[in-house]
Chain A
């Protein structure tokens, strides 16, 4: 059975997801000793600007500039609006070169080998339900349910799946939900019309469970730990990271938190980009 990590990187005007994917692939190699393949709509950019050998395979998809605009924050005081190119996640089942795939967001910073446990699981699909916001001060209800009255929220950030007939149906269903997003977002009383993979993955789980709670999937090891884009990744040295986490009700003020050996989903892509630049510079 082939095993590997898959990451999708489709740059917009402000965020270099390919650079994040390079950084991720290096961490995957260091901590998980697994190959990483990249799905991208600009393979030339990968080969011309970076060392493409960090990737096992470079999988090209068509360039698509369909607008799915959202704000990307860099801490509490700065933000940019740009295209959120997130429409390719449903096709990973068909595109993955692996029998056992760990699908990761490019802004996930790996600092330990916990994900290796996924490959030991006897369940063919694993996602995170439980998550922990690093500051532990915000209302995280938006990560409990996809809407006030909707189904439970599951993260599409880290997904482990094996090739199986049932998982094929699951990913086809995600594709269908994506294609008919306006219908499904109304059905699940989601206010925003922004397509989100977390929502599509969650709705598909809900449907695969027969519109009830069920055990269609298993849970990823541990909890998904994250910072929002209102927080800042300030420093990274080996597996130690320092964050500036926004103070509740004090816009633009932060307190510092450090982690060691903890993998973190860094939603502030700008601060992650700065840290990666530093690391790449240090590597020469």
Chain B
């Protein structure tokens, strides 16, 4: 088994090319000279010219449980079994790594499983995510974000992922028990991870709200501390991408990991073209 790596799960839907987002993410890792490779878990076709961006392209294990689903989270628990790495950082496809984060691995090695529980807005302030997190607030769930998480291949992580599998496959039943004060009518991996952490009584072992990194910039519009909010942040502030792929949102240079969240980010901005030119892909 290989030492360390990033892992991303991409399943295209009718409207969104998640594989292309994963390719873009891989390009961003290359552009920032992160020394750790990335692998892609997908059953979709990866364009030939982009395959070299990945360490491995891995089929979804145990078959595709999200076939015919729009919101494909049913396969997320399989990443523990799919990873070719001893230590894995799982990223959402709609993310860009904008700086070298090699040093984060040193911090993460102190954990068996780690979820970020504090994310930031584009101005670098801690994001107020309560608009999107009523279920967390009302039901007093730990504020975990599965968009960035880490695990080691060991008994603790395996046990955690088993619990995630159990909860995601029976989410309605678990929601009834754990989310009695406010019950969403759809499954969310963030909520699933939070319920799993409570069930295993391991919240303090898998997150640390006192540290700044590892984390990401969350671009959901209602997290940006704006008085007037458009649903899509791209309609509110400018997005500027330099030939070196430095990204400025509004007037703020972005660093760390950018979770751009809006699927039309790739079409609406020159981001893909910029990375292709920079990396000669």
Contact = CB atoms under 8 A, between A and B. Distances in A.
Q: Which of A145, A148, A150, A213 has the most CB of B within 10 A?
A: A148
A168 B123 CA distance: 26
Given A149-B226, A149-B236, A211 B123 contact: no
Nearest to B122: A149
A71 interface: no
Nearest to B124: A213
A144 B225 CA distance: 10
B237 A213 contact: no
B39 to A, nearest CB: 31
Interface string B110-131: 0000000000000111000000
B228 interface: yes
A164 interface: no
Q: Report the interface size class on chain A.
A: 10 to 19
Contacts of B250: 149-150, 189
Contacts of A187: 251
Given A212-B124, A213-B123, A213-B124, A150 B226 contact: no
B165 to A, nearest CB: 39
B252 A212 contact: yes
A141 interface: yes
Nearest to A206: B251
Contacts of B227: 141, 148
B253 A212 contact: yes
A229 interface: no
Contacts of A210: 253
A211 B251 contact: yes
Contacts, number: 35
Nearest to B249: A149
A148 B248 CA distance: 17
A213 B123 CA distance: 7
A188 interface: yes
B255 A212 contact: yes
A151 interface: yes
Report whether over half of chain A's contact residues are helix, strand or loop; otherwise say mixed. Answer: loop
The interface residues of chain B, by DSSP majority, are classed as loop
Interface string B242-266: 0000001011110100000000000
B125 A213 contact: yes
Contacts of A149: 224, 226, 236-237, 250
Interface string A186-215: 011100000000000000001000111100
Nearest to B255: A212
Contacts of B226: 148-149
Interface in A202-254: 206, 210-213
Contacts of A189: 237, 250
A167 to B, nearest CB: 22
Interface string B217-228: 000000011111
Contacts of B252: 151, 211-212
Contact of B248 (A150, A151, A188, A211): A211
A41 interface: no
A39 B255 CA distance: 42
A152 interface: yes
Nearest to B227: A148
Nearest to B233: A149
A148 B236 CA distance: 10
A150 B253 contact: no
A141 B253 CA distance: 22
B104 to A, nearest CB: 19
Nearest to A211: B253
A232 B37 CA distance: 64
Nearest to A213: B124
Interface of B: 123-125, 224-228, 236-237, 248, 250-253, 255
21 contacts: A141-B227, A148-B227, A148-B228, A149-B224, A149-B226, A149-B236, A149-B237, A150-B250, A151-B123, A151-B251, A151-B252, A152-B123, A187-B251, A188-B251, A189-B237, A189-B250, A210-B253, A212-B253, A212-B255, A213-B123, A213-B124
Interface of A: 141, 144-145, 148-152, 187-189, 206, 210-213
Given A150-B250, A211-B253, 11 more contacts: A144-B225, A145-B225, A149-B224, A149-B236, A151-B251, A188-B251, A189-B250, A211-B251, A211-B252, A212-B124, A213-B123
